[in-house]
Structure 1
Amino acid sequence: MNQEKDYLQDLTDIRSMMERSTRFISLSGLSGVFVGIVALTGAGIAHWKVKQFFYEVDTSYVDQSYSSDYNNLFINLTIIALSVLIIALLGGWYFTARKAKKQGQKIWTKASRQLLTNLFIPLVAGGVFCIAMYYHRLVGLIAPGMLIFYGLALVNSSKYTLNDIRYLGLLEITLGLIALFFYGYGLYFWVIGFGVLHILYGISMYYKYDRKK
């Protein structure tokens, strides 16, 4: 009986070692919560900018003036989006690095490099897609496109980290596809996808993996 227990324990240890060598398992639930809060803050600022734009635009403006104001609005929204992305990445990296340090694991490994590579390929493609949508004045498709490509990035990179990422990615894709049929309400879907879902995912991850550690 003792030999059988030792054998099972050895198999468990071997499996754990193999998982650590092929998957980056130090993702922190707190990073998900942080990303969600940052996304909600950014969405709030963006919503205020959009309301301010429509309040200030007068019907007597000539088309050229309206186009100029519209371009300025898009530039401001782009700055907000990039700021949210940078802050979210830095915060996510901080909480993940802190968790890896507590677990005595390295954060920069072959698995983490593969994770980032598979994550950024769909993200870059999604960035080009969003630029093309703006170029063709199809701005209502930008938010759904962001959700879809972000979801694809999570699914694509999930094989190098925790399986929970895959489920979050599938939810983001589904939300983005639904948003395609509600043109003009992209910001609300953006809030749900990048804000609410991230916070719920982060809390779930924290209680599932972090808290018991």
Structure 2
Amino acid sequence: MSKKHQDDLSHIRSMMERSSRFISLSGLSGVSAGLAALLGGIYVYRLFQQNGIAYFDGVDKEFPVHLVNQLIAVGIAILIVALVSAVFFTVQKSKQHNLPIWTSATKNMLFHLAIPVVVGAIFGVALLLHQLYVLLAPVTLLFYGLALINAGSYTLTDVKYLGFTQLILGCLSLFLPGYGLVFWILGFGVLHIIYGLLMFKKYK
């Protein structure tokens, strides 16, 4: 096969991939989200210490209302930072590579990502209302992992691998309830940073 035909086939494959997958995700958005989660997790641990709570003693706990409100505020802040950084770095990468952002592939990716995330959020609110705090870390990891796997068919395949690792951490944390915060920091913090750096290097 001539070089021209090979180049033509490569170009066609590239166009098909662009039309069917959202490929403007930036590894830097993963790094920034991971840093936010890492710092947030450390801050939460400090809050436990300040309130005299020995988090790692393996005993089920009842948190005071003011502490629960603080934890919710930290979670919302981390989510906002993650979303803002994802949008910012994605837009920057799209402009840099002259790629469209709002396409059918983007809509499919967001839709399939949102289903497990929304259900997981409702599940998390129910856990808060019933004061089942020990299950919050495993549930968030599990539903987030499912969301990534679900959306992985419409974006970079590497996203699925991150989803599977989140599922593994979520399953492990179910059986080690006294270490939920550690698994949460590993999943949302450390893994995001590692994944983001690998993706930045691979797709820069």
1:152 alignment counterpart:
146
1:171 aligns with 2:169: no
1:52 alignment counterpart:
50
The Cα of 1:184 is off from its aligned counterpart by: 2.3
How many pairs does the alignment contain?
197
Measured against aligned partners, the alpha-carbon deviations of 1:185-205 in whole angstroms (never above 9, x if no partner) come to 111101000000000001100
Q: Which amino acid aligns with 2:45?
A: H
1:93 alignment counterpart:
87
1:182 alignment counterpart:
176
2:136 alignment counterpart:
142
- Please list every run of 5 or more consecutive structure 2 residues that lacks an aligned counterpart in the other structure: 54-60
Q: Distance between the aligned counterparts of 2:38 and 2:10, measured in 1?
A: 41
1:18 alignment counterpart:
16
The Cα of 1:135 is off from its aligned counterpart by: 2.2
Q: Distance between the aligned counterparts of 1:6 and 1:181, measured in 2?
A: 57
1:82 alignment counterpart:
76
User: Helix, strand or coil: the match of 2:24?
Assistant: coil
Q: Distance between the aligned counterparts of 2:102 and 2:51, measured in 1?
A: 44
Runs of 4+ residues over 6 Å off in structure 1: none
1:105 alignment counterpart:
99
Q: Distance between the aligned counterparts of 1:52 and 1:111, measured in 2?
A: 46
2:57 alignment counterpart:
none
Calculate the TM-score normalised by the size of structure 1.
0.89
What percentage of aligned pairs have identical amino acids? 47
Q: Distance between the aligned counterparts of 1:79 and 1:5, measured in 2?
A: 57
2:31 alignment counterpart:
33
Q: Distance between the aligned counterparts of 2:100 and 2:114, measured in 1?
A: 21
User: Helix, strand or coil: the match of 2:76?
Assistant: helix
RMSD (CA atoms): 1.5
Q: Distance between the aligned counterparts of 1:71 and 1:149, measured in 2?
A: 25
User: Helix, strand or coil: the match of 2:51?
Assistant: helix
1:8 alignment counterpart:
6
Measured against aligned partners, the alpha-carbon deviations of 1:115-146 in whole angstroms (never above 9, x if no partner) come to 11111110010011111222222111000100
Calculate the TM-score normalised by the size of structure 2.
0.92
2:66 alignment counterpart:
72
| The one of 126, 130, 136 aligned to 1:132 | 126
Q: Distance between the aligned counterparts of 2:102 and 2:138, measured in 1?
A: 32
Measured against aligned partners, the alpha-carbon deviations of 1:4-57 in whole angstroms (never above 9, x if no partner) come to 3222221111111011011010111111111110111111111111111226xx
Q: Which amino acid aligns with 2:160?
A: R
- Please list every run of 5 or more consecutive structure 1 residues that lacks an aligned counterpart in the other structure: 56-65
Q: Distance between the aligned counterparts of 1:181 and 1:37, measured in 2?
A: 26
User: Helix, strand or coil: the match of 1:54?
Assistant: coil
